Structure formats: structure tokens, C-alpha cells
Amino acid sequence: MNFKDKIVVVTGAASGIGLASVRAFAEAKARVLLTDVNAVAGEAAAAELAGGPGDVRFMPLDVTDPASAEALAVWVEKEFGRLDVLVNAAGWDIIEPFMQNTPEYWEKIVKLNFMGPVQVTRALLPLLFASEGGRIVNLSSDAGRVGSYGETVYAGAKGGVIAFTKSLAREVVRKQVRVNCVCPGPTDTPLFASQPDKMRDALTNAIPMKRVAKPSEVADAVLFFASDRSSFVTGQVLSVSGGLTMVD
């Protein structure tokens, strides 16, 4: 795939799936804005990729802060005048039973995993309209399709991302913007590594392919939706989970 001269923004891109997506876009010669709330890790990741193919720059972004998303939009407008691809990858979770959740935990989960993509998308949509074919790829989760033990509110937020994807896809199709959604299953990232051993083992065993995904395998699906290879695809959801979930 060739993304030469395409302008790409990836959120939550200092780690895991977001970072793997940045790497893949850079290899395909895109101009990538690697954004993350963790400025130290973001700067370091962008510095590591500088000098390779593509053009990777770091911009700080807290997806829970509308002002931060607006500042990013102003910068992209000034620098490029348009945006071709937005990947909403920032997300967070801790596995614990619903009855142990605090309201603060619920608020953080929803603010980051659901309102984050909503706010960033709203801020950047005018720039995607200015592209000759804007694309949005949202990272949801198989938890949002089939539910997940100990991830009750996270699953609700990720289910919301799926419904948001489909509804937005209908609204913006006339502006030549396509919106699709990738649902990773368990994937070998710092987020997955932070979950309890018992949970990680149980999930790995339940996967027909008997291993978790590599972040680059999820990034492959992100690039598919961001590319012309999916030119007639919008409002769709693709699980990358080694067969863990098989949903119609």
C-alpha cells in the first residue's frame, strides 16, 4: 500500500497498536502525526522513526480534553490544510468485576474510550472533509461486540464506538469520508500485559489460533480501512482476533 503524501493522525500512538499503525503508515511513505498524552514516550517513538521512510512527527494530545483536540486541528489546518486519515487508537482498561467498579472508574473508562474518539473526530472532521477522500478508523474491541468478563463498562464504551462508527459513516458519506472500525482481540501490547496472568492465559487458550495478536497484525487491518483497497467499504466492523469471536 502506498500512502505517499497522505496526512495521517494516530491517537494513543506512543505504544501498542497505535505505534504499530504509525510504523506501518511511515513504511508506506505517509506523513504521520504520532499523538499521545504521554509526551515522553511519544517524542521517543517519533525520534526512533525519524530518518526512516515517511515523515513522523509528535504532537501532544489528550483525547479527553476537547481543547487539546482543537489545538491539534488548528495545527494540522495551518500546516497541511487538510487531513486524509484519522486513527482513533487511544484507549485504556483495567479488568475488575462490575460490582467493584467506582463511579470514578466508570467516568474515566467512558471519557477515554468513548468520548475521546467522539471529541477528536468532531475537531478533525472539517479537515477530513477538505481531503478528496477522508478515512476514519476507530479502534473498538471484541469486548464491544460479544462482551467480556470484568470489562463491563469498557465493553459498553467500545460497543458505543461501534454504533458511533456506523452512524457517523451514514452522516459523512456524502462528504466522501469513510468510517470503519477494527476490533482487536487480545493483542500483545502494554495494555494486555497489564492484565492479570490468569486472565491472559485464559484468553490465549480460548483463541482458536492459540496465540494473541501482534500489534502489527491489527495495524494491517487499520491500513486496509485507511487505503483505497477498501474504497467501497464504510460503516463496517472487522475483528482481528485469531477466530476468538465469529460474529455475523
What residues are labeled active site? 154
Residue numbers 14-33 binding ligand NAI by CB under 6 A: 14-18
Tell me the CA distances in angstroms from 75 to 37, 140, 164, 181, one per residue in order: 16, 27, 26, 26
The C-alpha cell of 122 is what?
Answer: 468532531
For position 141 contacting ligand NAI by CB under 6 A, the verdict is yes
Q: Using the rule CB under 6 A, which residue among 24, 90, 124, 222 binds ligand NAI?
A: 90
Compute how many residues bind ligand NAI; rule: CB under 6 A: 30
Question: Cell numbers 495545527 correspond to what residue?
Answer: 75
For position 242 contacting ligand NAI by CB under 6 A, the verdict is no
For position 117 contacting ligand NAI by CB under 6 A, the verdict is no
For position 121 contacting ligand NAI by CB under 6 A, the verdict is no
The C-alpha cell of 12 is what?
Answer: 494513543
Q: Which stretch binds ligand NAI (CB under 6 A): 91-99, 126-134, 164-172, 219-227?
A: 91-99
CB of 207 to ligand NAI, least distance (A): 11
The C-alpha cell of 112 is what?
Answer: 477515554
CB 88 within 8 A of CB 62: no
Convert 53-80 to b/e letters by CB count within 10 Å (16 or more is b).
Answer: ebebebbebbbbeeebbebbbeebeeeb
What separation, in Å, do the N-terminal and C-terminal C-alpha atoms of the chain show?
Answer: 28
Residue numbers 160-199 binding ligand NAI by CB under 6 A: 184, 186-187, 189-192
Residue 230 — φ and ψ, nearest 5°? -120, 35
CA 101 to chain centre: 25
Q: How far, in Å, CA of 108 to CA of 118, rounded?
A: 15
CB of 228 to ligand NAI, least distance (A): 24
For position 236 contacting ligand NAI by CB under 6 A, the verdict is no
Q: Using the rule CB under 6 A, which residue among 9, 46, 56, 61 binds ligand NAI?
A: 61
**Site residues (vs ligand NAI, CB under 6 A):** 11-12, 14-18, 36-38, 41, 61-64, 89-93, 112, 139, 141, 184, 186-187, 189-192
